[in-house]
Amino acid sequence: MTRPESAPPSDGSRSDISETDQPESDKSGEDQPARVVMSSGDVARALRRVAHEILERNKGSQDLVILGIPTRGVALARRLVHVMAEVEGRDVPSGALDITMHRDDLRRNPIRAIEHTYIPAPGINDKTVVLVDDVLFSGRTVRAAMDALSELGRPRAVRLAVLVDRGHRDLPIRADFVGKNLPTSRSERVQVCLAEHDGLDEVRISGGDR
């Protein structure tokens, strides 16, 4: 099924920083040069490992649905299902899940573009749904995704896969599959660059006291 779109799919220009949980007001150390903590090869290896871990835990791709959280979570979800298709010899249903109207900061910042939501034909009822995002920080984005998902059906189970877990959770949420655990200070900024949006694959940290 396809949920009606309120706006065209995002082109990735919503924010230079892909991490939706990251405070917009944190500008400390912004003049310091960013340091690369994951190269293109690191990103590729991490995603391949995560794809294999998902399949192993699910005992294959049966009744599995992969949903990316816009913006960069969608690109990551597509890469994961590509690896899974190579392993399983069959396509894994995938799509995108908009969280905009479920964000808990919507009242403070009501002017937000509605992102693209697409639920693949099998739907999510009685499926194992894996939500995919680029960076896990406070956990508020994931909570919004859970609320959005509840309006679309009743999965058998919901898992979370992220490329980077940077810590500093505000909510009791953790990822089931992590590409890289990256200890950070709250004053640092984590930026995930993907070829689909930024022309290259890279994870950078900027700011903080170094």
Give all domains of the chain, ordered by start, each with its CATH number.
35-207 (3.40.50.2020)
Q: CA–CA separation, 205 vs 38, rounded Å?
A: 10
- The gap between the terminal CA atoms of the chain, to the nearest Å, is 49
What does the alpha-carbon distance between residue 160 and residue 4 come to, in Å, rounded to a whole number?
Answer: 25
Q: What is the pLDDT of residue 112?
A: 63
- The pLDDT score that the predictor gives to residue 109 is 67
pLDDT value at position 116? 85
Please name the residue that has the structure tokens 């995603």: 47
pLDDT of 114: 75
pLDDT value of residue 122: 85
| pLDDT value of residue 13 | 35
Mean pLDDT, the chain cut into blocks of 10 residues (210 residues total) = 37 38 43 88 98 98 97 97 97 96 73 81 95 96 96 97 96 97 94 97 85
Spatial contact of 201 and 27, defined as CB atoms under 8 Å apart: no
pTM of the model: 0.83
User: pLDDT at position 106, please?
Assistant: 67
pLDDT at 115: 78
pLDDT at 14: 35
* Phi, psi of 177, deg, nearest 5: -135, 125
